[in-house]
Chains A and B, each alone.
Chain A
Amino acid sequence: MSRRSLRTEAIVLRSIRYGEADRILHLYTPEHGRVGAIAKGARRTRSRFGARLEPFFHLSVNLHLSRGDLHTVTSADTLAAHGRLRERADTLDAAARACDAVARLFETDDPSPAVFHLLANELRLLDGDPVHARPAAQLAFRLKLLVAGGFTPQLASCASCGESDHLSGFSGAAGGVVCTACEASAFPLSEEAHGFLVAALGRPLAEAPDAGDRALRQAERAIAETAEHHAHVHLRPLARVRRHQSGPTIRVPG
């Protein structure tokens, strides 16, 4: 392989129309982090890329490296198409938000195999069972993403004074849970929400815990504030409407 080309695994985070029939891709790779690439003629119906460059595809791509930021896709082979997650609105939305969170938190070309494998696992789970699109599972993914980025919130003791009892709030600025004495800049975090965050960190993604809606809202706020204060990234809020319903029926007439 020449030095001007690169063969790598990649997940398509985003695919943007460009020019007459091209696409600009945001790819996430295990060894080269986030990579930008152009796929020429990808929108033509007879393009050799077909649907492969749509978001959520897990690919083996060949890139022709340019001196600038945008490489050129010369070939793409599918490793996982994740076709089933595209058949439901909730899994489609969860996959889009997962890719968006990765794109926002990890926008450099620093290698991060852990992030890549976490995202690949999340897409595989969403493709396998729509139960993984529930808000609790999406929050567990975001929390693990923060950990992979080195932004683990402190949950065992007060992030300000180290006190391990009377933990009643969460402070993004302090970096974790805080006790009643230190909660000046914090928001209240219920015992259930605290338990959810601890369990979500400890369990595999496939076994993400559940919690009540109020606790999940608090957990989401804790994750969002951690990302804002420490990664300077605003994560899109989760969609909370119309979850866990069967997919719409699109009937063929006649």
Chain B
Amino acid sequence: MSTFAPPVQRLITELGKLPGIGGRTAQRLAFHLLRASEEDALALADAIREVKSRIGLCEVCFNLADGPRCRICSDERRDAAVVCVVEEPSDIIPIERTHEFHGRYHVLGGALSPIDGVDPEDLRIAELYRRVTGEPEEGRDPIREVVLATNPTTTGEATALHIAEQLREKAPQVTVTRLASGLPVGADLEYADELTLGRALAGRRALS
């Protein structure tokens, strides 16, 4: 039998369902909310309710959107001929922070992992092919480059290789690129792993 009143226990249970939150942290957060002012606590509840009722997926790229299209797909200044493919909506944020990419995105919703039962049909890969091979929107250039920005993990690499192979057949005119692999700025060579350093060497560039 719980030592807490049922509403408090319910709050602890719900908070405990969040990723990375264990029983004790859930309990601490629940007591924090109980101590907080009613205004602050209800603001959190309203924010959760609003995000669940208003946020959906962009009909073009499957990024999070508060309308039919996300802000990036609605932005006329973005280059619609270059599409960057990412695993999750959260992967768009670090790419946007670089200010180096001015194209649009396509969110797959995960990465291929046949061992875990994640096959191409479970991701938005068919939608990507339709987007690349379909007619461009009026007044826009057709897609000329697809940047594969899946994570440099085993599943991310497998996803990139699969898409690259399919695009080579379905849209041979489109250039398929992959994010470069290399050393993080500020890191020591001494601590670099062999795979990353090997790829950094293979992809070295001439200094002009």
Contact = CB atoms under 8 A, between A and B. Distances in A.
Contacts of B178: 250
A249 interface: yes
A228 interface: no
Nearest to A19: B20
Contacts of A81: 193-195, 198
A196 B165 CA distance: 31
B18 to A, nearest CB: 12
A48 interface: yes
Interface stretch (B9-17, B34-42, B152-160): B152-160
B158 A250 contact: no
Contacts of B153: 15, 54
Contacts, number: 90
A46 B184 contact: yes
B192 A236 contact: no
Nearest to A48: B191
Given A50-B191, A89-B165, A249-B164, A96 B158 contact: yes
A89 B154 contact: no
B175 interface: yes
Interface string B169-182: 00000011110000
Give the contact-size bracket for chain B.
20 to 34
Contacts of B187: 46
B194 to A, nearest CB: 5
A52 B158 contact: no
Nearest to A56: B154
B111 to A, nearest CB: 11
A88 B176 CA distance: 15
A236 B164 contact: no
Given A46-B186, A48-B191, A52-B193, A248 B164 contact: yes
Interface in B118-167: 145, 148, 152-154, 157-158, 160-162, 164-165
A249 B160 CA distance: 11
A212 interface: no
Contacts of A236: 114-115
Given A87-B161, A96-B158, A253-B175, 9 more contacts: A20-B20, A51-B152, A52-B195, A78-B193, A89-B162, A93-B158, A248-B161, A249-B176, A253-B177
Interface of A: 15, 19-20, 45-46, 48-52, 54-57, 78, 81, 83, 86-89, 92-93, 96-97, 100, 236, 239, 242, 245, 247-253
Interface of B: 19-20, 113-115, 145, 148, 152-154, 157-158, 160-162, 164-165, 168, 175-178, 184, 186-187, 191-196, 198-199
18 contacts: A15-B153, A45-B184, A46-B187, A48-B191, A50-B196, A55-B154, A81-B194, A81-B195, A83-B194, A97-B115, A242-B165, A247-B161, A248-B164, A249-B168, A249-B176, A250-B160, A250-B164, A251-B175
